[in-house]
Structure 1
Amino acid sequence: MFGVVITNFNCEKFIEITIKRVFSQTLKPEQVVVVDDASTDRSLDILKKLQKEYNFQLIKNPRNMERVYSRNRGVEELKTPWVCFLDCDDFWEENYLASVEKYLQQNPKVEAIFTPPKGFINEEGKVIKKKKPIRESLEELLFSGRVGYPSGSCFKRETFISLGGYKDIYLHREDWEIFLRFYVAGKILGLNLQREYWIREHPLRSSKNNPQFLEATLRVIEDYLPLIPPKWKPLMLFHAAEQCYRFTKPECGKKYLIRLLEENPKLLLKPKMFWEIFKRLPKGFFRNKKHKKGKN
């Protein structure tokens, strides 16, 4: 039922455990494809050694093509009805695929499934943060930018291909954008709350503190705001504002806050929403405003 695509780039510290966790699933994948994106460390040698023990196809990109290309390339090799993605540094628990299958049995019309992570682990595999229980709806998560970790993303393969797969233009938020594209295309999305995987935090994680993450976020938002139901637009504008402040772009944040206030000012009255913006404001934000007012 499931094919798995693993993308690898310089993941020598983690790729072995990642591969072993895939093949120790209680529900075995029918097909596994690993796409190496021109690694320069020892990970390719490790993968070749692992091939002697585990049955997976290894594809080597001729040069670094980035993860969007690598994931789509892996899907081309699959023959399975469903594709699940796994980043080389993340960690599936043994019941991950079984939990996705169970969800599909209960929701057979779904064409894309997102499973939120249990939390975050460090380089040594120790838990550094556990995620809180999710009380929001799928739509609330989707339009606030909280859907999209590839390691928790599974798609009906034919639909994934027909909608064009991951898109380079949205690199760094391609994992979020594809769920929005499924939604706008009228496909049924699923939210699997049986959380069976961990995201690994480490210095080489490509999207962490990368300013291109903000650029991609704003591109996704501006492209999809005209396409989504009006009731969900405030959540997208809020996500834009909080990301602007996260990357210390106060003028950008202010612009989206103004647009948010025009759409739904009550959203900022929610304590959680207010705090998400407040905690990201630059130090001295209010002091500077007061000082400027005094000079006038």
Structure 2
Amino acid sequence: MAAERLSGLTVAVVIPAYNAEEFIATTLRSVVDQTHSALEIIVVDDGSTDDTASICREFAAADPRITILSTENRGVAAARNAGIEASTADYIALLDADDLWHPTYVERMLSALHPLPDAWGAVYALHRLVDSEGYCTKSGSSLSARGFILIRHLVFRFVGNGSAFMVRRAVIDKIGGYDSSYANQGIGGCEDFDFQLRAAEHFKIEAVPLGLVGYRVHSAGMSADRSRMARSLLAVYEQFVARNAQLPVFVVSCARASAHLYAFSKFAAVKDWHSAATSLKHIYRHSPLLAASIITKLIFSKAIRAANKLLSKVRPVRRQKRKNLKKFEEIDPLIPLVGGWSRFRTRALFTRLSEIDRCSGESIATSRR
């Protein structure tokens, strides 16, 4: 009976798409093939100049659940907001136009969130990294938490992308939609993390700790602009700290270290050493030992790359085919993800932040009575 009740619940799927002709068909196919069929699929064509719209129209002609909205190019946040505003379902799932869902994604997410009280506003899943051809190249982090997760999510960033989050409409009513000001400042890219944090400030969050999302990494993706992604994440953190003045000093220090660890890796990758040095200073303030380990790792990695480059000239190595890789849809989602812990994201830090989350959650619960 419970499964029958869930099957009658409609979920709005909002897909912002800008010049996504290479991947939009496989993304839409992963949606229309969901085991939960009561879907309101809204594709927002964000001013595409390629064949994105025509591909979507072909799908819409064959599936009445699909609606296409056409807007001028305003960025992913505004596109998501337009799709959310056009939807009517009580549950809203966001999906980027180049990512993939496992066929059971909506069913598992809805089954996790719907039975919970209204204080639980959202649910997230984990992900596997997928290349341009749909092969899984790497496991995403295996770490997750549930309940009041605000502080832990701030530091550990459990979700990792914008395609693994489903919310009740009550969340939109409470916090509004996605913040388009990042794109207006030229630092769009982490609006999904900003949205998740604002949701976690007011609601409990459930977790489905399975790799149900194929997060595609490719040269044309928004995340490929490393410098912009770094500046976007730093801006999200600073906005969060500014509107949460009551945060303990330790949490602020951890939050900034987490953001600058990410930023340092992105700045170093594009050889923006001035910005990388600025991030390293913030990391040093949090932990001199952590900063020293980063410098050591950077030196060794550069030496290894130089050695490999020299060896490749002497003895060219044939590029191996993807014989050991599987397509995303071929992988059983019950196969555990691996990794997530690091010199910074330790079990001890997780435990300490869990206690802060617990106390914060009790305070919020008390204030609501």
User: Which of the five TM-score ranges fits, normalised by the shorter chain?
Assistant: 0.7 to 0.9
- 1:168 matches 2:187: no
Shift, 1:132, TM fit? 4.8
Among 38, 49, 64, the residue aligned to 2:73: 64
Instruction: Determine the C-alpha separation between the residues in 2 that align with 1:276 and 1:208.
Output: 22
Instruction: Determine the C-alpha separation between the residues in 2 that align with 1:283 and 1:166.
Output: 39
1:228-247 alignment, distance < 5 Å: 229-230=247-248, 231-246=250-265, 247=267
The amino acid of 1:190's aligned partner reads E
Alpha-carbon spacing, 1:280–1:36, altered in 2? closer, same or farther (3 Å): farther
2:109 is paired with a residue whose SS is helix
Instruction: Determine the C-alpha separation between the residues in 1 that align with 2:295 and 2:99.
Output: 29
The amino acid of 1:25's aligned partner reads Q
Gaps of 5+ in 2: 1-8, 183-187, 269-274, 304-369
Alpha-carbon spacing, 1:71–1:278, altered in 2? closer, same or farther (3 Å): farther
Greater Cα offset, 143-152 or 34-43: 143-152
Where does residue 152 of structure 2 map in the other structure? 140
1:180 is paired with a residue whose SS is helix
1:194 is paired with a residue whose SS is strand
Instruction: Determine the C-alpha separation between the residues in 1 that align with 2:264 and 2:47.
Output: 35
1:262-277 alignment, distance < 5 Å: none
Where does residue 211 of structure 2 map in the other structure? 195
Shift, 1:111, TM fit? 0.4
The amino acid of 2:280's aligned partner reads K
1:179 is paired with a residue whose SS is helix
Alpha-carbon spacing, 1:174–1:10, altered in 2? closer, same or farther (3 Å): same
Shift, 1:254, TM fit? 3.0
Shift, 1:148, TM fit? 4.7
Where does residue 124 of structure 1 map in the other structure? 133
Among 5, 18, 35, the residue aligned to 2:14: 5
Where does residue 290 of structure 1 map in the other structure? none
Where does residue 292 of structure 1 map in the other structure? none
Question: Residues 85-114 of structure 1: CA distance to partner in whole angstroms, max 9, x if unpaired?
Answer: 111110101000111012114533310222
Question: Residues 203-240 of structure 1: CA distance to partner in whole angstroms, max 9, x if unpaired?
Answer: 10012233221222221222222516425333312222
Alpha-carbon spacing, 1:196–1:243, altered in 2? closer, same or farther (3 Å): closer
Gaps of 5+ in 1: 285-296
User: How many equivalent pairs are there?
Assistant: 273
Among 82, 88, 101, the residue aligned to 1:79: 88
Shift, 1:146, TM fit? 4.2
Shift, 1:155, TM fit? 1.3
Where does residue 231 of structure 2 map in the other structure? 215
Instruction: Determine the C-alpha separation between the residues in 2 that align with 1:229 and 1:30.
Output: 39
TM-score after normalising by structure 1 = 0.83
- 1:205 matches 2:215: no
Shift, 1:278, TM fit? 5.1
Among 146, 149, 153, the residue aligned to 2:161: 149
The amino acid of 1:110's aligned partner reads W
**CA contact 1:114–1:147 (8 Å) conserved in 2:** yes
Instruction: Determine the C-alpha separation between the residues in 2 that align with 1:131 and 1:25.
Output: 22
What is the alpha-carbon root mean square deviation over aligned residues? 2.5
The amino acid of 1:113's aligned partner reads V
Instruction: Determine the C-alpha separation between the residues in 2 that align with 1:275 and 1:116.
Output: 28
- 1:110 matches 2:120: yes
Instruction: Determine the C-alpha separation between the residues in 2 that align with 1:242 and 1:72.
Output: 30
**CA contact 1:96–1:195 (8 Å) conserved in 2:** no
Instruction: Determine the C-alpha separation between the residues in 2 that align with 1:172 and 1:69.
Output: 12
1:252 is paired with a residue whose SS is helix
Instruction: Determine the C-alpha separation between the residues in 1 that align with 2:141 and 2:237.
Output: 26
Instruction: Determine the C-alpha separation between the residues in 1 that align with 2:47 and 2:231.
Output: 26
TM-score after normalising by structure 2 = 0.67
2:189 is paired with a residue whose SS is coil
Identity between Structure 1 and Structure 2 (%): 24
Instruction: Determine the C-alpha separation between the residues in 2 that align with 1:72 and 1:148.
Output: 20
Where does residue 285 of structure 2 map in the other structure? 259
Instruction: Determine the C-alpha separation between the residues in 1 that align with 2:221 and 2:56.
Output: 20
Where does residue 291 of structure 1 map in the other structure? none
**CA contact 1:116–1:149 (8 Å) conserved in 2:** no
